[in-house]
Structures are given as structure tokens and as C-alpha cells.
Structure 1
């Protein structure tokens, strides 16, 4: 019996249990969620083996946060990667990508799947090229049939979405050569090894050439196909060059074709992008793809923030959420420098959650009520109430407890020289339920 995908069910007029869950979590009418899933503007990663809560990504929904983990050839500690997965979930990540490139790749994936309740994704080209390299000492000997078999094996394990580099083709590579390559080189591991395979074999990308086969596999497991950004810029001076735009156009076309086949589709976006170009980038993706959900990697709006790139990326993420990105991949303080630790993962998720919150309350002004409640609790020095409205209440509580003020109504920043306390003394008789806005004639 063939299982229908979320987009196929929605087009049949069916509100699935997953759509119902998303509607309840996002405070939306279930029928509206169904309509947007049917259009391909919302996706719900939903491998049948996934038993966690449904996560909706797309138009009108809260901007979601993805955390990426995974081993490397230098550091391969499965227990640590599981700890990172659990830390990401604990900190409020919405999805997780397992991007291991060292050790027993099947075992790492399965251990993480068993440990987490988040929808899990990956990049199948990582394992395909790593295992080919181990077997033949040459990744360019990759057999496309092995790649397709591997994609299905990973889906059978329970992956709910995959970043697959379908938009790289010979035309894209020609653009790289014609423009004199790049200042920042290539940033995508999967994309770069596919480019190298195409260069060595003089063949077309099988993921592009057999796109219908990729979609058929994803449909079989109702997984979301995230069209990988394999030619994304690794430096702001390379942003929106001809190679990146060639891949973006192809990915947006493929998103439309995939939806027509009944496959849930996302488009992946750029890495390093100047702040002033983020709005235009998102506008292009939305317009060319028919509002397909946009999964943005960062973005990182400068190249000199290493060590604090979780902050660099949070600035880009806030802008991206503001202008319509739907899923944002976090960046940790270790980005560009080392494999992240568990604490790096926590900091990355927190920074990105904060950034998406800033973007969302700008994009959706009607969702600012929580900010008002937090401000009023702070004004009235209701510290216990304030914690209820904060994104990171435990962190705030810990900081306050470590530096306990002499007067519990205040904090050690101001002590008895407190603006809030003095302001309340002066204006408390004038406080109304809501501020009165008036204009002079």
C-alpha cells in the first residue's frame, strides 16, 4: 500500500493528524494549514518511523531553528554527538541534522535517531563519498547506484528530511570557471565533492539528471526534500555571483517540479551574505519557487567574526526571519574553527532562537504581546513573573541568584539608584490597563 505524502493528503482535502498538531501549536485554523501544505508553502517532515511531535515549516508559522551535529575525521565520539543532540533538543531546537563524516556513519545516525524526538535530517553525499573513499581511496569512483541505494537506506532508518544537492549541474560549474572561481572558495562539503566528481568523471550530476528518482524515494517515506545549496558563498564578496544564482534558479525550478510530483519541498539558502542583500535574496527565492519554504544556513553577514560567529549569524538570522526565511540553521561559536562542543551547541541554539524571535515579532507585529508582558513585569520588578516570559528563564535566574541585590526589589546593576522603582513611585497613580494614545488637534 502506497502511503500518501502530506502534500498529497492536503490536495485531497484531508487534514492529517500532523496538520492538526501544527495548527494547534501555531494557533492556526487546521483548514488554513491544509491549504498552505497543499500549495507547498508549508512542509511537515514526517517519516513514518518518526514518533515525535509534528513540526511545520513555512508561510505564517514561527521561524524554526535547526541544529547540526556530527563527527569528523579528527573527532569521532558517538556518545558526545548524542549528548549534543539532546542538548539541542533541550535548548529548544525544532529540527536536527546529523552530518557525521567520521567513524561508523550508520551507527552514529541510528544512535541519534534513537535518542531524540526531533525530526532528523542529513546530507547523504557525506556518507556516499566517505565510504567510496574508504573503499577505493578515491571519492570520484562513487557509483550513482550506490548513492541512490544509500539514500533509501537512510530513509528506512527514519530520516524525515534530507539536504540533497540536485541543483548543481555542468552549467553551474561553467559559471564558476568563467568568473575566475571565488575569493572564499566553496563552503559546502557535499556540493564540493559532487563538483569534483563531475569534473573527474566528465558526467552530469546524477541527482540532477535523475531528479524524478530522488523525489520518488522521498515520497515513499513522506520525507521533505531540501534542495541543497552546494554552491553557496563562503565569503560576502562571493554573495550572489553567477554560480550561486545559477544554482538558485535551478533549485527553485526543481521545487516546483517536486511539488507537482507530490513531494514535500524546501529550498536551501546562502551562507555568507552581506546584511543589505538578505532581503533581496529571500524575495528572489520566494518569487522564483512559488513561496517554497526557505531553509537558510546562517546567514553570516561578515567574514571576520570567527570565535563569535554565533553572534555574527544571529544578526543575519534575525534579518532573514524578518524577511521571510522559514527554517534557520544555527551557527556555533566554533564555526570556521573546530568541531563544536556540547556547550557550543547550546550557545548556538540560544543565539539562533533569540534571533528568530526578533525577526518574527518584526514580521508578525501581532505576536508582540509576550514582549509587553515581560516589559510590564520588569517595570514593576515582579521577578518571578518576568521569568515566565523570557526565552531563557533558567539563565536569567542563575545570573540574578549569583549577584543577589541588597534590596530584592532591585538588581545589582542599579541598587537603590533604580530608574524603574523611582518611575513607579512617580507614575503609579496614572497607570491604566492599556496606555492611552492620543493626538493633539
Structure 2
């Protein structure tokens, strides 16, 4: 008998993880259980991740954010990446994805899992060549699955697997005319392996074995979009949609085995197509949680892609996307620095919160109301306390102090809040003397 969160939900059990999520979301535990049983919510919680503080992702819950980091060949500094982890945790990111593809990835991954109360995700395909010490074309299907099992055994909560890129999808892709072809790193590696070996995608062909691994450790399957658009020109094209149909079929197979599933979504989408993309995923993948990279709403802003992605993320979240992968200013340019990562997290958190206000998530609009009340009262300390980024707000205030402490240097004595407060005080004084 499976002991996954989904299996327990289907049996009518309310796990400790479901209780924690219900408390965080201000919802009834039974409501969480029912949606989890239907696949509309996931609680990624590997049995081996002992430091985890559970989070729910899906319909009716707060929009969560994910932070990507990891070791690469050009920037193989483990301590620098661990500093990023600590910063991401301090900034309350709900998930961290380890995308390491160089060196002793298992050591870094294990340190990350021990350290992190946030959800941990990985893309085992990135790790396959280094872990197995083989050329890509020489890796056997069972070895790909062995790498997934290694990650599951280490304690990761969710894994991105590009199982929807099958031979039929590949043949369709070859006939298409794409500007940016396959931009998914994991997808391109699988595509190359399939072409060099003239074989089916091992994760598609041996999907049942993949489900065995996920069920044993309760690893949530994040079905990756190998054919996601890497440019506005490729958005919502036939290759993307054909793969999405396959992912919907795989979702139902996973649910039959009580394996939790979320679907990964597009990276570059024009504003006018974002809502349609979310609706298509929810329809074709039967309401499974949707995890989007941005999406970026224009291709021409390198150095500012945290902004282009926040615009897309807010719109996608408002339309029903459940999980936003942050994008940093360094996207398309370099491995992000600690400061890049911070800016990416803030941008993603703004997008997620804006989406939550639009979706009517409990407590979302209340936060904004409290900030507005603090602004009207010119209660600076309360404003700092409520700010998404207290550090920056406080620094700006200190760098430019006004003559009158109950205003700022933008308006000074002409501050509208200050004036209206004084008018109200005078009105109350007159009323009390009558």
C-alpha cells in the first residue's frame, strides 16, 4: 500500500503535513485533503527530508515561488551557492531547486536537504553525465532511472522529468519551424540522447518504473516542458501543445499510482496569450498544479528579466497558475550573483502576492490594507514591518531624511497624508469642544 500524501488523502487520512499546510493557508484540513486526493493540490514531502516545513501548491492556496541555484563548471563555488541558499531561506522562498551539473553534486544536495525547511527540487537529468561518468549517448535507460532514485533516496521533494518528449513529439518538433528550438536544458539533453540512440525517451518508455520510485519515497513528479517556448515567436505553438497533451495523459497514469504531479509551463509568452496558456494546462492536465517559469512577456530586456517575468508571473498567477519559478536580472547572461538572486526573489514575491490578491486568497488583500493604513498614519516602523523588502525600504528612508519626520523628501510639508491627518485632527478638536 502506497504511503504518499495522495494515497493517504484518498484513504480519508489527514496527515501532519496536511494539517501544517491548512494552518499556513488559513483553511480547513479536510478541504486540503479533498483537493489533494483529486490532484488539485500537491504537498511535496519526501519521507527522508527531515528538516522540511511543508507547503502546499495548487488551487485555492497562496502562490508559491521557487529559487533556482546550483554549481556549474564555470562557477564551481559550493560555499557561494550555500550562501545563496541561506539568503533564499531568510527571504522565505517556499522552494529551492538544485540545478547543479558539475562536481560532487551529491554532497551539495545532501547539505542543502539537511539545511533547508523549504521544498527541494532537482532535475536528475542534469546530474546524469557527471554522476555516471559517461558520455550522454552511452547512458542506458536503467542508469537514468538510477540517478532519479539516488535523488529520491537523498530526500528531494520533487523532481523535474521531461517525460512528455516522446518520439511522436520529436517528429512533430522536427517539422516545425521554431526560432529558439528546444531551450530546456533537460529537454535538449534527452532529445540528443534519443536522436543518437534512435530510441524512445526512457522516462516515457519506462514511466511505470519512474512512478515506482516516486511512490516509494513520496517524491512529487514535476512534469517538465521540454518544448516550452524560449521566445515570444514560439509561444503556444503545436510542439508545446502536443507535449502538454502527453503530460495530461501521464498525469492520469501517475494519479492512478497515487503519485503527486505538477506541470511545468512556458517561459516566454506574450501578455495576450498568458491566460489561454493557464486555461489549456488546467484543462488538458485535469486541474494539476501549474508551475511556470516567469513567463517572460518580452524577449528584449536582458538585465531586466526579473521585471519581464514578474509581469508575466502576476498575470499567470491571477489566471490560475500555482507556482512561480523566479527569474533574476542575470537570466540569459550569467550565473546569478547573490544580489541578482535577491532581486529575482523580490520580483517573484511581488508577482505571487499580486496574483493572490486577484485570486482572493485569505489574508492577501488584508496585508495591503494594513500597509495603506500605516501609510495614512505615517507610521514608518509599521510600514517597514509590512514591506516585502524591509531592508531596502528602511535604507531608502535613512538615505534621505526629511525636515519633518512625519513626511518624506518627495513632498515634505506638502505631503497629502500629513495634510489630511492634520485636517482630521482639527475637525476632531472642533467636534470635541462643542
Bin of the TM-score, shorter chain as denominator length: over 0.9
- For the structure 1 residues 207 and 365, does the alpha-carbon distance in structure 2 shift closer, same or farther, using more than 3 Å as the test? closer
Q: Which residue of 1 aligns with 2:97?
A: 97
Q: CA deviation at 1:47?
A: 0.7
Q: Which residue of 1 aligns with 2:144?
A: 147
Q: What is the alpha-carbon distance in structure 1 between the residues aligned to residue 354 and residue 57 of structure 2?
A: 18
Q: Which residue of 2 aligns with 1:434?
A: none
Q: What is the alpha-carbon distance in structure 1 between the residues aligned to residue 112 and residue 81 of structure 2?
A: 7
Q: CA deviation at 1:430?
A: 7.5
SS across alignment from 1:267: strand
Q: Which residue of 2 aligns with 1:421?
A: 418
Q: What is the alpha-carbon distance in structure 1 between the residues aligned to residue 196 and residue 48 of structure 2?
A: 38
Contact 1:47–1:223 (8 Å) recurs in 2: yes
Q: Which residue of 2 aligns with 1:110?
A: 110
Kindly provide the CA deviation profile for residues 341-400 of structure 1, in whole angstroms up to 9, marking residues without a partner as x. 111111111110011111110111763122112111101211122223222223212221
For the pair 1:377 / 2:374, whether they are aligned, the reply is yes
Matches within 5 A, 1:232-381: 232-364=228-360, 367-381=364-378
Q: Which residue of 1 aligns with 2:391?
A: 394
Q: What is the alpha-carbon distance in structure 1 between the residues aligned to residue 361 and residue 426 of structure 2?
A: 29
C-alpha RMSD of matched pairs (Å):
1.5
Q: CA deviation at 1:129?
A: 3.2
Segments of structure 1 that go 5 or more residues without pairing to the other structure are 432-441
Q: Which residue of 2 aligns with 1:435?
A: none
Q: What is the alpha-carbon distance in structure 2 between the residues aligned to residue 333 and residue 150 of structure 1?
A: 32
Q: Which residue of 1 aligns with 2:19?
A: 20
Q: What is the alpha-carbon distance in structure 2 between the residues aligned to residue 225 and residue 108 of structure 1?
A: 22
Q: Which residue of 2 aligns with 1:223?
A: 219
Q: What is the alpha-carbon distance in structure 2 between the residues aligned to residue 186 and residue 228 of structure 1?
A: 12
Contact 1:81–1:112 (8 Å) recurs in 2: no
| TM-score normalised by L of structure 1 | 0.94
| TM-score normalised by L of structure 2 | 0.95
- For the structure 1 residues 300 and 22, does the alpha-carbon distance in structure 2 shift closer, same or farther, using more than 3 Å as the test? same
- Bigger mean CA deviation after superposition, 359-368 or 71-80: 359-368
Q: CA deviation at 1:128?
A: 1.1
Contact 1:121–1:159 (8 Å) recurs in 2: yes
Kindly provide the CA deviation profile for residues 290-340 of structure 1, in whole angstroms up to 9, marking residues without a partner as x. 210111111111111110111111111111110111111000111000001
Q: Which residue of 2 aligns with 1:436?
A: none
Q: Which residue of 2 aligns with 1:42?
A: 41
Q: What is the alpha-carbon distance in structure 2 between the residues aligned to residue 365 and residue 131 of structure 1?
A: 42
Q: CA deviation at 1:111?
A: 2.2
For the pair 1:410 / 2:407, whether they are aligned, the reply is yes
Q: What is the alpha-carbon distance in structure 2 between the residues aligned to residue 193 and residue 351 of structure 1?
A: 30
Q: CA deviation at 1:114?
A: 2.4
Q: What is the alpha-carbon distance in structure 2 between the residues aligned to residue 150 and residue 193 of structure 1?
A: 15
Q: What is the alpha-carbon distance in structure 1 between the residues aligned to residue 273 and residue 422 of structure 2?
A: 47
Q: CA deviation at 1:428?
A: 5.3
Contact 2:164–2:204 (8 Å) recurs in 1: yes
SS across alignment from 1:368: helix
For the pair 1:163 / 2:160, whether they are aligned, the reply is yes
